[in-house]
Amino acid sequence: MAHIQLPEGLPGIVGPLTYSPETARPLLLLAETLLRGPNTLTSAEREMIAAHVSYRNECNFCQLSHGAAAAAHLKGNYDLVEQIKINPESAAVSDKLKALLAVAGKVQQGGKQVLSEDITRARQQGATDKEIHDTVLIAAAFCMYNRYVDGLATFQPLGREAYHDMGEQLAHEGYVRDRFQDEQQAAQA
C-alpha cells in the first residue's frame, strides 16, 4: 500500500506522476534532457549512470526500469548492466565511463564526497566539463527520483522481465512521448 491514494496498478513513479501532472512535467522534461538530449555521452552511458545510482539507493523500480532502458540501448546486454550496477570498475566499459560512475557514486553518498582527485581522474580519461556536470546532475536527479518513488511507498513489480517493455519504450520513445502536447501547441500558437 502506497502512503497516499495513487491510481491503481501503475508501477513506481508512474503513480505519483499521474497523481500530480503539474510536477510530472518538469520531472519528465528533466529526465528527457539528461538521458536523451544531445550529448557526447551516449544514452546507454547516461542510463547506466542512472541505474548505478538507483542501485546504490536500493530503489527497485528505478534500477530495474533504467537498467532495462540501458539494456535496450545495448541490444539487450543485461549482463553488462548488472555489472555496472554492482561493480563498474570491473565492467567492460571505457575508463572514462568508469571514472564518471565513480563520481556518480560519490554524489549518491553526498555532494561533498566528490573530491578533486575524482574529477582529476575523470579528466585524465578525457571527460569534459559538460560530461562531469551532466554526470553530477544525473546522479543528483536520481537521488530525487529514487526518494520520490520509495518515500511514497509506491507499488514496484519485482523481477527484470516486468521492466523489459518499459525499458524499450524509455530508450526508443523517451520520457515525454505524447505528453504535454496541448501545452506545446499552445506555446507555439
Partner 1 sequence: MAHISLTEGLPGIRGPMTFSPETTKPLAELAQVLLTGPHTLTPAEREMIATYVSSQNDCLYCQSCHGSTAAQHLGGKDGDYEFIAEMKRDFEGTSLSPKMKALLNIAGKVQQGGKNVTTSDVERARREGATDKEIHDTVLIAAAFCMFNRYVDGLGTWQPSDPEIYREIGQQTSSQGYVKRDYGKPLEAIAAKQRGANS
Percent helix, strand, coil in the chain, to 5, is 70, 0, 30
Cell of 118: 575524482
Question: Does residue 125 touch partner 1 according to CB under 8 A?
Answer: no
Tell me how far, at minimum, the Cβ of 68 lies from partner 1, in Å: 20
Given a contact cutoff of 8 angstroms between Cβ atoms, the answer to whether 91 and 83 are in contact is yes
Question: Does residue 188 touch partner 1 according to CB under 8 A?
Answer: no
Question: Does residue 136 touch partner 1 according to CB under 8 A?
Answer: yes
26 vs 159, beta carbon nearer partner 1: 26
Contact residue for partner 1 among 119, 125, 174, 180 (CB under 8 A): 119
Contact residue for partner 1 among 11, 12, 14, 34 (CB under 8 A): 34
Applying the rule CB under 8 A, the residues between 148 and 187 that interact with partner 1 are 148-153
User: Which DSSP string corresponds to 149-188?
Assistant: HHHTT-----SGGGGHHHHHHHHHTTTTTTTTHHHHHHHH
Size of the site for partner 1 (CB under 8 A): 49
Given a contact cutoff of 8 angstroms between Cβ atoms, the answer to whether 142 and 46 are in contact is no
Tell me how far, at minimum, the Cβ of 184 lies from partner 1, in Å: 14
Applying the rule CB under 8 A, the residues between 63 and 102 that interact with partner 1 are none
Given a contact cutoff of 8 angstroms between Cβ atoms, the answer to whether 86 and 108 are in contact is no
Given a contact cutoff of 8 angstroms between Cβ atoms, the answer to whether 62 and 50 are in contact is yes
Cell of 150: 520509495
Question: Does residue 144 touch partner 1 according to CB under 8 A?
Answer: yes
Contact residue for partner 1 among 69, 146, 166, 171 (CB under 8 A): 146
C-alpha distances out from residue 109 to 5, 31, 64, 85, 131, Å:
31, 21, 20, 15, 20
Stretch that binds partner 1, among 23-31, 65-73, 81-89, 93-101 (CB under 8 A): 23-31
Q: Rule CB under 8 A: which residues touch partner 1?
A: 3-5, 16, 19-20, 22-23, 25-27, 29-30, 33-34, 37, 57-59, 103, 106-107, 110-112, 114, 116, 119, 129-130, 132-134, 136-137, 139-141, 143-153
